[in-house]
Amino acid sequence: MIKKLLVVICVLISSQIYAQKANPFSLAIINNLADYKKSVAENPDKQLVELKKYIPGLKLDIRYATKNNFAKQAVYKQARAFARLPVANSLKKVQAELKRSGLGLKIFDGYRPYSVTVKFFDLASDKNFVANPKDGSRHNRGCAVDLTIINLKTGKDLNMPTPYDSFEAAASPDYKDLPAEVIKNRDLLIGVMERNGFQVMYNEWWHFDFKGWKDFELMDIAFEEL
């Protein structure tokens, strides 16, 4: 009996140590499918929707599934993009609005597992452009998207202030020293996103947070498990 009790205690201690190593900030993070499915059963809005399948005409350019990103390495095994159901519904409205002008959305990133945020923070040369793991990211909640606008006829991106993932000062959404066409395109993106429930990041013209993000938990489930 004593031996069994000691084994149980050792397992519990090991689990606590592992949890601390995995998440030293004591954040509540959903990291398994069972807990995720339970949360969705309790609130269907918490479903992670695959954006490409949900929004007609949506284009993807998932940089983090390639080496074409600031980290210079692939951190996703699959080039997919997800967002919570209300976020996906708002993006669908944005896409429909842009389509009337022959334009559409291209998604660079959506839901991002928490472990990737930890990795990015370690790799980034400028911590102002990556989320701090002590708080987690809106991306980890499935409530942030990185995107741009494309011309549907040509498939080309509209000219924006900087490339995606740039650490330049010009990436700020209120940076002024830019050609008029670029400012017009950036403001078009910000305007259509804000009309549909998003807020632009203070230093990244491409990053938009869903205004209801506080209602959703941090998650750390890989794309291939969803």
What architecture does CATH give domain 32-225?
2-Layer Sandwich (3.30)
69 CB-side CA count, 13 A: 20
For the chain, the structural domain boundaries read: 32-225
The predicted pLDDT at position 3 comes to 46
Tens-digit pLDDT profile for residues 35-81? 999 999 999 999 999 999 999 999 999 999 999 998 899 999 999 99
Beta-bridged to residue 48, according to DSSP, are: 84
**pTM of the entire predicted model:** 0.87
pLDDT in tens, 92-121: 999 999 999 999 999 999 999 999 999 988
Whether 11 has a pLDDT exceeding 50, the answer reads: no
CA 223 – CA 218 distance, rounded (Å): 15
Per-residue tokens: 143: 């409530």
Instruction: Provide the pLDDT for residue 64.
Output: 96
The one-character DSSP state at 73 is: S
At residue 128 the predicted structure's pLDDT band, cuts being 50, 70 and 90, is low
